[in-house]
């Protein structure tokens, strides 16, 4: 869910439902694969900044299963970063009640601000989960907030390859190596918090630093 708990993208199904004779059974929980914030931005249909103003539990009208229940968060959208072609105004987002189904718990008591990303269902509702870019707005770095405006989008054609062990070599010119785990033993290190992987004029991809220099030098492109 949060960057402090390691960013991730969905690695398979949230839940596998066996539908037969009116029976529903959960046989798989939430499983996510680590991902740079830019990857989560690029894979999302909707990315917004919003405040949470309320919540309630809702159930599909055609199901009595507790596993089908959703938390409906009422939100006040502050800014949209992605999804202009899909929604003009968003009043609610939905997430599974159970964390084992990738549901996320947001603070609705203090009108907390969040960065929310997710997908749109066929009925127009917005779904968010642990495998999406969901983070307290105050926890984002200044560079991340800046990159949401256009730099992440500029790099959606680039590939970010996570390095876990040495050697870790690039497999193409359209790729950036994500080395936070090797250098900081964390997926929430300097590259995650300060950098975007952007396609340059020569069509190659390279890290772009949007904030102050990190302690370790691992890129070749910086703010002028």
Query: What residues are designated binding site?
Result: 30
Q: Quick count: other Cβ atoms within 10 Å of Cβ 49?
A: 18
**How far apart, in whole angstroms, are the C-alpha atoms of residue 41 and residue 62?**
33
**How far apart, in whole angstroms, are the C-alpha atoms of residue 99 and residue 148?**
27
**How far apart, in whole angstroms, are the C-alpha atoms of residue 41 and residue 82?**
8
Residue 119, H or E segment? strand 113-120
Between CA 224 and CA 203, with CA 188 as vertex, the angle to 5 degrees is 45
Annotated binding residues for Zn(2+): 30
């Amino acid at each position: 869910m949060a960057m402090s708990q390691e960013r991730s993208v969905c690695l398979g199904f949230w839940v596998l439902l066996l539908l037969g004779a009116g029976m529903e059974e959960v046989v798989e929980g939430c499983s996510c694969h680590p991902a740079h914030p830019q990857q989560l931005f690029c894979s999302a249909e909707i990315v917004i900044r919003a405040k949470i103003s309320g919540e309630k539990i809702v159930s599909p009208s055609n199901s009595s299963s507790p596993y089908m229940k959703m938390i409906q968060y009422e939100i006040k959208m502050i800014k949209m970063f992605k999804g202009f072609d899909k929604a003009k105004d968003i009043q609610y987002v939905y997430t599974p009640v159970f964390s084992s189904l990738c549901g996320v718990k947001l603070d609705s008591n203090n009108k907390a601000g969040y960065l929310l990303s997710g997908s749109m269902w066929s009925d127009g509702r917005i779904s968010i989960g642990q495998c999406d870019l969901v983070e307290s707005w105050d926890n984002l770095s200044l560079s991340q907030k800046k990159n949401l405006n256009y730099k992440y989008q500029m790099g959606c054609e680039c590939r970010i390859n996570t390095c876990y062990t040495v050697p870790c070599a690039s497999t193409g010119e359209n790729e950036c190596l994500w080395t936070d785990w090797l250098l900081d033993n964390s997926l929430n290190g300097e590259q995650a918090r300060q950098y975007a992987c952007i396609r340059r004029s020569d069509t190659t991809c390279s890290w772009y630093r949007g904030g102050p220099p990190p302690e370790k030098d691992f890129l070749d492109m910086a703010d002028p």
